[in-house]
Amino acid sequence: MPIYEQTYRRYEARGPLRRVRFWPITREALRLLLERKAFLLLLVAAWAPFLVRLIQVYVVTRFPEAGRVLPVDGRLFGQFLNGQLVFTLFLSIFGGAGLVANDLRTGAILVYLSRPLTRRDYVLGKLGVLLLLNLSATLAPGFVLYGAALGLAPDQFAAWDLAWIGPAVALHSLVVSGVVSVVALAVSSLSRSARVAGLGFFGLMAGLEVASGIVGGIFRSPGSTLLSVQASLRAIGNALFGIAERGAPLHWIYPASVLALVAAGCLLVLRARVRAVEVVR
Amino acid sequence: MSDIEEGPLVEFSDLEVSYGPLQALAGVSGAFAAGATGLLGPNGAGKTTFLKTLLGFLRPDRGRLSAFGLDPVRQPLEVRRRVGYMPEVDCHMAGMTAAAFVAFAGELSGMPRSDAISRAHEVLYYVGLGEARYRTLETYSTGMKQRVKLAQALVHDPDLLLLDEPTNGLDPAGRQEMLALIRDVSERRRMSLILCSHLLRDVEEVCGSVIVFNQGKLAAAGRIGDLTGPRRSVYEVRVKGDAAAFLTDLKDEGCEWREAEDSYRVFLAGGAGPELIFRIAGRCGVQVRHLRPGTESLEDVFLRALGHETVAS
């Protein structure tokens, strides 16, 4: 086939390097994800518990006696966000498993890293995808629920002593989304197959949860919470929203430290795996 | 964008790069001038390592490397925005159309989105994928994938194009088309490029000069015309009789030779002519069945640089 189009022209408008370089990576990956109808359904499903909680708030504000069975206070938000944890896991599996794995499989990592981008830009871009997805299942419904509660029961929620709920919702959502996202991305970077990465992430999270339950059952120790990422996140949520735990509660500093270590470990994994040159020693 | 600049685009001196204990580049020095330059060498010679060091992926253990006067270690982003890289390995993004992929590559290079989209269409037409640009990359043939790799390297209009084995996996017709494109980029668009290949003919067709690496060292460098010029007389010789004695005598007379398919390529030194071949043949009692003059090709230069001459297989 001869060269039949001679439309190539020099590009004269080269500008300075961008300061925020990761955003096109996040935007393009989100666009590809949101083209999948099944994934959109999952995003919609992640808002189902919000509707249930909204009805709860509505019922209790209209029929105060229902508040004895379904109390509406700060704990409601903690329980809601702890419940949303499962959706962050599914969103991370279906939206995040292929984020790095596919780039490693198809060699696209070279396309990214041969551009004026650092490895940090690449990781931030990919992490941004998971953070936005997970925040859409935690922070967004959490804030909307808080807004609805303020609107429906201003006497109850607009009080100064409950002003902490908004910041607590934001903090817990960020912790849950941040930890789950960074773990999912690290697992994605460990494989060249999105399927393997997805199964690996699910196996890791479910396996640690089961192990934590077994150890807790045998030793009756609150320390078993630390074995599981989800249990540690729930423990922080419980501490933030004042939800009573069965047995002796674990001080929040322990699960917070474990989660910080897990996140740091995942960042180290990403640092080792996200490379343009793979050195086999 | 800038026109082809005066002086070398890439300079390197005493460059050493290692992968752990394995030294991939061992103190190489040289320069790539503006225009098309071939980077030749057998597998494992250090060609790809050099390109990856140039892109700032690898940090040299020693020595100096600069591109456009910039240090790829200290200013990798500045270097990369002026370079277009077509990797040897397959590289596409799952689920993307060619148009989206090339536009995305442009955006990653710092182009505004609208510019990147319009450039992507232009460049895809240029490489001959205009009609197929809305197909997902997974449906592309090997030849089309090579073209889209070239398109993503061109989209931001780099000052220097790094092409790592661009004809890999292509059939002869596809190879010719790819080389025609690369030649057009270099000659008509006046874009400088480094063509990294182990295929001598590819380099000969496109490049004006060449740098040869072998086992991490610089084996030869210069303009192809100078390297392959009439410095030595070359004859294709076929003999009948005691070839070993004939070849030994040739060597004793200061000539070099290497085996070709069913003949020998004999390189005569010191302005000697074919009469020397006949004289030696007569002395050794062998018949010269075929004698054809030739010119020293890039392959000869390459093999000589690698030390493959006068070594009987």
HEC profile of chain A:
CCCCCCCCCCCCCCCCCCCCCCHHHHHHHHHHHHCCHHHHHHHHHCCHHHHHHHHHHHHHHHCHHHHHCCCCCHHHHHHHHHHHHHHHHHHHHHHHHHHHHHHHHHCHHHHHHCCCCCHHHHHHHHHHHHHHHHHHHCHHHHHHHHHHHHHHCHHHHCCHHHCCHHHHHHHHHHHHHHHHHHHHHHHHHCCCCHHHHHHHHHHHHHHHHHHHHHHHHHHCCHHHHHHCHHHHHHHHHHHHHCCCCCCCCCCCHHHHHHHHHHHHHHHHHHHHHCCCCCCCC
- Give the pLDDT of residue A188: 97
Are residues A237 and B18 in contact, defined by beta-carbon separation less than 8 angstroms?
no
Return the number of other C-beta atoms located less than 10 Å from residue B219's C-beta: 20
Q: Where are the domains of chain B?
A: 8-224, 233-295
**Gap from B206 CA to chain A (nearest CA, Å):** 16
Return the number of other C-beta atoms located less than 10 Å from residue A104's C-beta: 21
Q: Taking the domain B8-224, which CATH number applies?
A: 3.40.50.300
- Give the pLDDT of residue B309: 55
Are residues B302 and B200 in contact, defined by beta-carbon separation less than 8 angstroms?
yes
Chain CA centroid to CA B148, Å:
20
- B77/A107 CB distance under 8 A: no
Average predicted confidence (pLDDT) for chain A? 89
Residue where the block lists tokens 């030649």: B183
Q: How far apart are CA B1 and CA B7, in angstroms?
A: 17
What sign does the dihedral A183-A188-A194-A200 (CA atoms) show?
Answer: negative
- Give the pLDDT of residue A256: 95
Q: Which residue of B has its CA nearest to A11?
A: B157
Buried b (16+ CB within 10 A) or exposed e, B249-288: bbeeeebbbbeeeebbbbbbeeebebebbeebbeebebeb
- A111/B152 CB distance under 8 A: yes
Q: Which of A44-48, A57-61, A241-245, A264-268 has the lowest mean pLDDT?
A: A241-245
Question: Nearest 5°: CA angle at A251, between A249 and A257?
Answer: 135
- Selecting from B19, B89, B115 the residue whose C-beta is nearest the C-beta of A13 gives B115
Q: Which residue of A has its CA nearest to B128?
A: A3
Average predicted confidence (pLDDT) for chain B? 87
CA nearest A19: which of A97, A118, A149? A118
- Say whether pLDDT at B97 is over 80: yes
pLDDT (mean) for A75-100 = 94
- Say whether pLDDT at B312 is over 50: no
pLDDT band (50, 70, 90) for residue B10 = very high
Q: How far apart are CA B162 and CA B67, in angstroms?
A: 12
What share of chain A has pLDDT > 70, as a percent? Answer: 95
Alpha-helical regions (H) of chain B? 47-54, 76-81, 98-108, 113-126, 142-154, 172-187, 200-206, 224-227, 243-252, 274-284, 298-305
Sheet of B233-240, strand order: B256-259, B264-268, B233-240, B287-294
Chain CA centroid to CA A141, Å:
14
- Give the pLDDT of residue A206: 94
**Gap from B292 CA to chain A (nearest CA, Å):** 35
Higher pLDDT, residue A36 or B229: A36
Structure tokens at A183: 């773990």
pLDDT (mean) for B216-235 = 80
pLDDT (mean) for A28-56 = 94
Q: Which of A1, A11, A37 to mutate to test the interface with B (most CBs of B within 10 A)?
A: A11
What share of chain B has pLDDT > 70, as a percent? Answer: 92
Beta-bridged to residue B256, according to DSSP, are B267
- Give the pLDDT of residue B4: 45
- Give the pLDDT of residue B101: 96
From chain A, pick out residues whose CB is under 8 angstroms from the CB of B154.
8
Q: What's this model's pTM, rounded to 2 decimal places?
A: 0.85
pLDDT tens profile A230-281: 999 999 999 998 887 766 678 889 999 999 999 999 999 999 999 988 655 5
Pair type for strands B22-33 and B8-19: antiparallel
- A115/B108 CB distance under 8 A: yes
- A114/B180 CB distance under 8 A: no
pLDDT band (50, 70, 90) for residue B255 = confident
**Gap from A13 CA to chain B (nearest CA, Å):** 8
From chain A, pick out residues whose CB is under 8 angstroms from the CB of B105.
111, 115
**Gap from A194 CA to chain B (nearest CA, Å):** 11
Residues contacting B270, CB < 8 A, separation 6+ = B254
pLDDT (mean) for A120-141 = 97
- A106/B181 CB distance under 8 A: no
Are residues A7 and B132 in contact, defined by beta-carbon separation less than 8 angstroms?
no
pLDDT tens profile B274-309: 888 898 888 888 899 898 887 777 777 777 766 665
pLDDT (mean) for B18-37 = 92
Q: Which of B70, B104, B162, B188 to mutate to test the interface with A (most CBs of A within 10 A)?
A: B104
**Gap from B31 CA to chain A (nearest CA, Å):** 21
pLDDT tens profile B105-162: 999 999 999 999 999 999 999 999 988 999 999 999 999 999 999 999 999 999 999 9
- Selecting from B52, B90, B156 the residue whose C-beta is nearest the C-beta of A11 gives B156
Q: Taking the domain B233-295, which CATH number applies?
A: 3.30.70
Are residues B49 and B25 in contact, defined by beta-carbon separation less than 8 angstroms?
yes
- Say whether pLDDT at A186 is over 90: yes
Higher pLDDT, residue B118 or B4: B118
Q: How far apart are CA A14 and CA B25, in angstroms?
A: 33
Q: What are phi and psi of B142, to 5 degrees?
A: -60, -40
Higher pLDDT, residue B226 or B184: B184
Q: Which residue of A has its CA nearest to B59?
A: A277
Residue where the block lists tokens 């205009």: B130
- A111/B105 CB distance under 8 A: yes
What sign does the dihedral A154-A155-A157-A162 (CA atoms) show?
Answer: positive
Terminal-residue alpha carbon distance, chain B: 50
From chain B, pick out residues whose CB is under 8 angstroms from the CB of A30.
none
Q: Which of A28, A104, A115 to mutate to test the interface with B (most CBs of B within 10 A)?
A: A115
Q: Which residue of B has its CA nearest to A99?
A: B94
- Say whether pLDDT at B3 is over 70: no
Size of interface A-B (CB pairs under 8 A): 132
Are residues A152 and A58 in contact, defined by beta-carbon separation less than 8 angstroms?
yes
| DSSP state letter for B304 | H
| DSSP state letter for B8 | E
Q: Which of A1-15, A131-145, A257-271, B262-276 has the lowest mean pLDDT?
A: A1-15
Q: How far apart are CA B243 and CA B246, in angstroms?
A: 5
- A114/B20 CB distance under 8 A: no
- Give the pLDDT of residue A274: 93
pLDDT band (50, 70, 90) for residue A75 = confident
Q: Which residue of B has its CA nearest to A275?
A: B57
From chain B, pick out residues whose CB is under 8 angstroms from the CB of A18.
110
**Gap from B1 CA to chain A (nearest CA, Å):** 6
- B126/A8 CB distance under 8 A: yes
Higher pLDDT, residue A41 or A18: A41
Return the number of other C-beta atoms located less than 10 Å from residue B236's C-beta: 16
Indicate if B233-295 has the same CATH topology as B8-224: no
- The verdict on ipTM greater than 0.95 is no
- A2/B92 CB distance under 8 A: no
pLDDT (mean) for A67-95 = 89
